[in-house]
Structure formats: C-alpha cells, structure tokens
C-alpha cells in the first residue's frame, strides 16, 4: 500500500533533521512541489492521499544540503515570488530590511527611480517596483546568468516595462541620479567558514569580498555618493559586524550613514540620505 502524504512528511522531517534547522518546513515545501500545489492547500486537505513517487528524490537532494529554493525553483521575498536557481544568491528575509528602510523613508508616494546594484534574481528592484507602481528602475549584475533570471522574473511579474536589467560592473558607465539605491553586495571574508548549503551551492562571486569582506564596499561607496539624488535614500546590506567599517568608508566620501537592524536585532543595512 502506498505511503500517504502525512506519513511521508513525518519520515522526511526525521531524515532532514540531521541536516536542516527547518526540517518539517523543508519537507512540506518539497511535498507541495512534488504534488504541484501550494503548501497551504496541501496542509488543509491533501495529507491523506498517496505521496508522489518524486518526493523521495527531492528529500535526498535536500539531505545532501541542496537549498530548498534551488530544488523547487522559487523563493518568496517581500510581496513577490521569485524564480531562483544556481548562479544567483537565494533572497533572504534579512534583505527585506532594505525595502523596509525605503518604505519608512518614502511612504506611499515612493521613489521615481530605483537602482539595484548586484541585482541577482532581481529581488530588491522588483520588490520596490511592486511596492510603488509608478516607479521605474535599473538592475545591474556582472553575471549573465543572474541577468537572465532577473529579466525572467521581471517578465513573469509584469514589471518588465518598468524595469531595465543589464549586465555591468557595479555602477560603471551610469551617470544618472536615483532616488533609491539598493544593494546587497558580497561581504563575507574570503576565509570564512559557511554552512554546506551555502558553500557548496550558492555562487562564490555573490558571497566573498576579499580578506576582510569589504572589497566591494570600497568600490561602491564613491559610486553611490555620485549617483544618489538629493532627498533620496541608499540602503546597502552589511554583515552583522561591519557597520563601523562601512560607515567609516562613507564618512571618507563625505556622507553620514546610519544603521538599520533586522528582525533579529542584528545590524543589517547601512542607510545614507541624499
């Protein structure tokens, strides 16, 4: 007799508990993906049907540390859902801190022009454009694979008419001023130890930034200083212990920078007012 969904979920959660801090959630997301339905729908009324044969293969991939987002091919961020895959960093809830800072600054009126440097999947840019229907924006990434994924997300979300996404090296060649600048650069020290889920699967170019994790900030700060419009806001993600060092870089460029914490109370974003 075929194993039912309820029993398969319990078995998978026990297997994944050895490699994941969110074993039950992981199992539920993988099962919903195997069934081709929303997780909430599955939990309400689909737990007593036979489990799909594909489920065990998905669990084995997760047990080998492959991130759930890469297995199921998407990740929710802010108010949108994004396609993701190898070649782009998986959007984290911590990065929503940058969008929260922008909402606090602009309110319902929003910015007119948005720049997202190192756009990856397009998470920050597309979240901002979804938040403010009159805004337009530019996303830049040096990875051709990331640009393709971000463009696909913009098209699927119906935002391609307001979002330009292109390949580039940070802000080189851009001479426009922007009301809102968003950036989640690489900021991990070159020799830092990372969980296997990250180290084995996510792109190193989106993670590491030299021996002290500050290499990309050194390039970005002068660019942000010249691109930020008067009255605008720049929100740049940082590591939990980098606030003082990054604020010092902005001070050298003549800009005062504040710090915004994430939901866990850790320093998460440097905030610069134009």
What percentage of the chain carries pLDDT values higher than 90? 98
Q: How would residue 274 be classed by pLDDT, with cut points 50, 70 and 90? A: confident
Output phi, psi for 185, to 5 deg: -80, 165
Task: Please give the pLDDT value at position 5.
Answer: 97
SS3 107: coil
CA 136, CA 97: separation in Å to the nearest integer?
A: 20
Q: pLDDT digits over 71-105, tens only?
A: 999 999 999 999 999 999 999 999 999 999 999 99
φ and ψ of 66, to 5 deg: -65, 130
pLDDT, averaged across the chain: 96
Hey, where are the domains in the chain? 5-64, 75-273
For 228-257, what is each residue's pLDDT tens digit?
Answer: 999 999 999 999 999 999 999 999 999 999
Q: Can you give the pTM of this predicted structure? A: 0.95
* 191 CB-contact burial (10 Å; exposed 0-12 / middle 13-18 / buried 19+): exposed
Could you please state the CATH topology (level 3) that the domain comprising 75-273 is classified under: Rossmann fold (3.40.50)
**What integer is the mean pLDDT of 33-62?**
96
Beta strands in the chain (DSSP E): 74-77, 80-83, 113-117, 136-141, 163-167, 178-183, 228-237, 257-261, 267-273
Phi, psi dihedral angles at 244 (to 5 degrees): -60, -40
Tens-digit pLDDT profile for residues 127-153: 999 999 999 999 999 999 999 999 999
């Amino acid at each position: 007799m075929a194993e039912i969904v309820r029993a398969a979920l319990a078995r998978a959660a026990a297997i994944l508990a050895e490699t994941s801090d969110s074993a039950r959630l992981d199992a539920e997301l993988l099962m919903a993906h195997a069934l081709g339905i929303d997780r909430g729908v599955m939990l309400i009324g689909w737990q007593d049907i036979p489990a799909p044969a594909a489920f065990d293969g998905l669990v084995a991939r997760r047990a080998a540390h492959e991130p759930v987002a890469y297995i199921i091919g998407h990740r929710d961020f802010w108010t949108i859902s994004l396609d993701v895959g190898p070649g782009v960093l998986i959007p984290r809830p911590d990065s929503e801190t940058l969008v929260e800072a922008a909402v606090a600054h602009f309110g319902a009126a929003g910015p007119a022009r948005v720049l997202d440097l190192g756009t990856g999947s397009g998470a920050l840019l597309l979240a901002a454009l979804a938040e403010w229907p009159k805004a337009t924006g530019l996303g830049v990434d040096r990875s051709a694979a990331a640009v393709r994924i971000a463009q696909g997300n913009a098209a699927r979300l119906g935002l391609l008419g307001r979002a330009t996404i292109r390949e580039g090296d940070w802000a080189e060649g851009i001479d426009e001023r922007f009301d809102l600048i968003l950036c989640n650069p690489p900021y991990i020290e070159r020799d830092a130890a990372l969980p296997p889920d990250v180290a084995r699967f996510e792109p190193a170019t989106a993670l590491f930034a030299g021996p002290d994790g500050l290499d990309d900030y050194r390039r970005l700060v002068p660019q942000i200083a010249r691109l930020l419009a008067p009255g605008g806001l720049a929100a740049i993600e940082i590591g939990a212990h980098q606030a003082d060092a990054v604020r010092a870089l902005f001070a050298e460029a003549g800009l005062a920078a504040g710090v915004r914490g994430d939901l866990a109370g850790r320093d998460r974003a440097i905030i610069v007012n134009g």
